[in-house]
Structure 1
């Protein structure tokens, strides 16, 4: 199942999610600060009101509060303020008759303001009580001023502060969301332009992408350019391979057709038998070329999973030589295998490695010339490498001829072969992190296939 998502939406969520979390934390912090601020403001307003009432009581002799004090009490920070004042001896002076009662601990300084919470008419209130030395009608003593305010008024004020902050944060978040949504769209526009530029390309156009792109997308474009180059090289290689394959298959096919037509016109049974043998040989050669072409094409593909194994190269060589021996001996050529008695384990594709060794033997048989009398297969391993050397005493092969001998569809000298035998061996060696080397010898040819040993 394919997961389809929008890069724009992904960036939108990635950017706004931490901002939203930060906004929640900021909102909680702002609400806490609002509560603290409200408490401080209301406590200060209570203190201001209490001091003003105490002053007016002392100045007016307890008759009335000044207009300024009355305005202060009525305009206190968004909530109603209640008060109660008594003169020396606890005589009622002004204010509400029954102030809220509260427990006040013993204090060293009785004139210091005291804050506490209490119940007043079924509601929780914040109370401030101060005691000051005053003289009323010639009587000097302590005057007590009590002011109080509902806690609900404070909470409402704090909630209003928090809501204002939340509204501001919400507006900022909404604005930021719009900016991010449309900003991401503008930021992704070069990628959309790049997509359109690629979409309108012809399927045959694998040239490099050359256009102004953001730095963040340069890696993608460079990867695409490398991929285009590889695809173009692969297509070109396939076209060359198909052209060469068609050329190589044309001659065997023409030979088979020619011999089949000649077989129909054979005047005698002896000639018919001879042409049948020639037709069978041509058909085998054609099949061999087709097999080599298929092998070369398979070697171009990545190695599939499960096609490799660890096996004993010594035993595999014995099997290969046992199968190739009759064909070699039929040409009156000595055939020898030199291999250690102990196992030599390697890891790889058994079928490809076996085909590579068969191609080395077949190459020695086909290109050894008329003086060929012996072919030797020698396995000599060391700690890290298994080396299979195929030697013959034929007309020889020099390391200087490596480019021609190891190339595809090329030969040092014209022969009945297709020019793919050693090229397949080279591909098998490279596929297994090995190599194929033409050795310098005094007589004949010596070719060594090196393969890493299994760990």
Structure 2
């Protein structure tokens, strides 16, 4: 599924809220236009009524002045109807039958109301004043009215003008946002082009200046490039070391294989065959350990499950005890009386323990006499301790002992055993330590206890 472009996402994020605001603003403007038109038309009705009342008083009801007629005909762009009665309710001028109010009219105050006149909705204003017309003195009632449709048309025109203005502003804003986002994203496009121009071997950090908002992405990418470069260099070093370490066993096997057909003596031939088998066994063991080491470093699919650590340690020690006893070495196991449950892979932990035992067997020296293995709990951790009374590892050589293909002294090992142990402990969120002791070597493997349930 292809994600939307960042430009489109920003456009869709910015524009809809503005559209909602514009709709609300248009609705508000329409309401304001209606109220404004009502107020303007009511004032025009009042002006017309005052002008009619003045002319009636001046002309004694005979005629309206031309200026008043213009006010009546042009007020608010719509026709104004009027009706005037003099003292005693005598008809004076205007249309014959004005719209009547449903409630009494307040004297000396303009009174506005809605009514129906000839089938049309009207806005009516009625005003009562005390006037002298001829020789009569009394209340003069001036009624003026106007079509509601004219008012609504005027309000609609105001609202449409405001809507057109808002629509124009929104269209302009949409163009500004669309092209403005494109201009704002130009540094990202430049960064993409710079990365695209890089060669596959160029894993150096990106040093191009970028906006503050994307500096975190560039920093993360630089960190990833450093990790990739470190991983690449580690692979290169591993391949180089593996090629160097495999060269000697391969050469020995080839030499023995070429020599074997030329041997006529049965005893010498048997001895050569044994050497060939031993060289092949060492080469296979080296290849197996190399693959195990790389699998531990980069294969994250190792199955993990809770199990009792005592069971794995007992199985490994039972298999190794025969080898130790065959060399006249003492071997003791002291398991913890209670289950020590850890979350991990029993095969990998067993391989780590075997590597420690075989490492001690190969490099412990002629003075070594015994092995001691025990398991115990320490707070939230469970531990395995493997101790021997051999030559030991000097404190200043501990880091060298865990380095790949490194040996403190020449021996028949591959130099990978303790490196595998360290990787197994890293995979299980634990650690391996070499504890100082008066004689020999003491390894301590520490695992986090698994919280059951």
TM interval, short-chain normalised = over 0.9
Q: Which residue of 1 aligns with 2:352?
A: 356
**Pick from 136, 140, 143: which aligns with 1:139?**
136
Listed as ranges, the matches of 1:270-289 within 5 Å are: 270-289=267-286
C-alpha contact (below 8 Å) 1:434/1:449 kept by paired residues: yes
C-alpha contact (below 8 Å) 1:398/1:439 kept by paired residues: no
Alpha-carbon offset, residue 321 of structure 1: 1.3
Q: Which residue of 2 aligns with 1:236?
A: 233
C-alpha contact (below 8 Å) 1:310/1:454 kept by paired residues: yes
CA distance in 2, matches of 1:435, 1:139: 119
Listed as ranges, the matches of 1:120-199 within 5 Å are: 120-199=117-196
Q: Deviations over 1:62-97 (max 9, x none)?
A: 111112211111120121111111212222222122
Q: Could you list the runs of 4 or more consecutive aligned residues of structure 1 that deviate by over 3 angstroms after TM superposition?
A: none
C-alpha contact (below 8 Å) 2:33/2:158 kept by paired residues: yes
The answer to whether residue 60 in structure 2 is matched with residue 50 in structure 1 is no
SS of the residue aligned with 1:425? Answer: helix
The answer to whether residue 433 in structure 2 is matched with residue 437 in structure 1 is yes
Q: Deviations over 1:152-182 (max 9, x none)?
A: 0011011011111111111111111011000
Q: Which residue of 1 aligns with 2:214?
A: 217
CA distance in 2, matches of 1:48, 1:182: 53
SS of the residue aligned with 2:64? Answer: coil
CA distance in 1, matches of 2:204, 2:74: 80
CA distance in 1, matches of 2:332, 2:244: 36
CA distance in 1, matches of 2:58, 2:321: 135
The answer to whether residue 303 in structure 2 is matched with residue 307 in structure 1 is yes
**Pick from 424, 428, 449: which aligns with 2:424?**
428
The answer to whether residue 373 in structure 2 is matched with residue 374 in structure 1 is no
SS of the residue aligned with 2:171? Answer: helix
C-alpha contact (below 8 Å) 1:206/1:232 kept by paired residues: yes
SS of the residue aligned with 1:379? Answer: strand
Tell me the TM-score normalised to structure 1 length. Answer: 0.96
The answer to whether residue 404 in structure 2 is matched with residue 405 in structure 1 is no
CA distance in 1, matches of 2:363, 2:227: 36
Tell me the TM-score normalised to structure 2 length. Answer: 0.96
Q: Deviations over 1:392-428 (max 9, x none)?
A: 2222222221022111111111111111111111122
CA distance in 1, matches of 2:168, 2:228: 52
- For these two proteins, the number of residue pairs brought into alignment is 451
CA distance in 2, matches of 1:246, 1:325: 34
CA distance in 1, matches of 2:15, 2:322: 78
Residues 101 and 174 from structure 1, CA distance in 2 versus in 1: closer, same or farther, beyond 3 angstroms?
same
CA distance in 2, matches of 1:45, 1:451: 93
**Greater shift in the superposed pair: 6-15 or 135-144:** 135-144
SS of the residue aligned with 1:75? Answer: helix
The answer to whether residue 290 in structure 2 is matched with residue 298 in structure 1 is no
Structure 1: give runs of 5+ residues left out of the alignment.
none
CA distance in 1, matches of 2:328, 2:89: 143
CA distance in 2, matches of 1:159, 1:418: 93
Alpha-carbon offset, residue 302 of structure 1: 5.5
* Aligned alpha-carbon RMSD (Å): 1.5
CA distance in 2, matches of 1:159, 1:248: 92
Q: Which residue of 1 aligns with 2:384?
A: 388
C-alpha contact (below 8 Å) 1:399/1:439 kept by paired residues: no
CA distance in 2, matches of 1:371, 1:406: 23
